[in-house]
Structure 1
Amino acid sequence: MDAIRRAARDEKRVFADAWRLLKRVGKTIPFAEDVLAAYYCALDPSTERRVKLILVGALAYFVMPFDVLPDFMPLIGFTDDAAVIATAIASVSRAIKPEHREKAKAALQSDLGA
């Protein structure tokens, strides 16, 4: 938990790490679009601070190499990450706008190009 708090304090690093991880595994995880929508929502200057903190915390958990179920485990490695992302998104779903989801879809269709 302390690692998530530390990571959330350094938003830029969390965003960069999340982007790198998504580029590497984005096509293989079924919740990639949700992670990207959360990413774009957290980057949006109009998103309120409370929402950003929740999303940055979830993204920080997503990029942590050591979590409850290590990400390298086939089939189940991202299960805990999906649960954290889903919970965060459910709690702030009203803040994730259609334009965030559109950007997420576009990024996935362009192979997560920068």
Structure 2
Amino acid sequence: MDDVKIGEILLPGDEDEQDRQKSRVKKRFWPVLKRAMRQVPFGRDLVAAYYCALDSRTPTKVRGILLAALAYFVLPLDGVPDFFALVGFSDDIAVLTAAFAAIRGHIRDDHYMAADKALADEPDMQAAG
């Protein structure tokens, strides 16, 4: 992650790039989240960010930042491989923390309500979270 700055990762990109990111995120988010729940300290915020990123009412730039951060989270290979216990998700956490700071206030109560429902409906994540 030394070669790539967090700000570069979080570039919202154009519409085509956002579509590619959205496709990656939708395909891989839930399986990766299940593996990460024990290591990521803000699982509820992460799921709420997922719903915010997919919400058409979210401003395009905010959606782009979230989709970029979530795409980094779901990528199988990144700065620190996720299969390393305890440190594997540390780079993902840094990217997500920066994204949350950049979009503060755009994740709404309805995104958190959707996150709470998704987490409550998924027994594996309930036990982990």
TM-score after normalising by structure 1: 0.83
Amino acid at match of 1:49: T
Kindly provide the amino acid, as one letter, of the partner of residue 27 in structure 1. M
Residue 63 of structure 1, aligned match among 59, 62, 74? 74
Cross-structure match for 2:35: 25
* Structure 1 pair 7–69 and aligned structure 2 pair: CA distance change class (3 A): farther
Q: Which blocks of at least 5 consecutive residues in structure 1 are unaligned?
A: none
Q: Which has the larger radius of gyration?
A: 2
In 1: Cα distance, 2:81 partner to 2:93 partner: 13
Match in the other structure for 2:85: 74
Q: Which runs of 5+ in 2 are unaligned?
A: 125-129
Residues 1:49 and 1:7: Cα distance change in structure 2 (over 3 Å): closer
Identity %: 39
Structural RMSD (CA): 2.6
Cα drift, residue 106 of structure 1:
2.0
1:42–1:51 Cα contact (<8 Å) kept: yes
Q: Secondary structure at the match of 2:122?
A: coil
Offset at residue 21 of structure 1 (A): 1.4
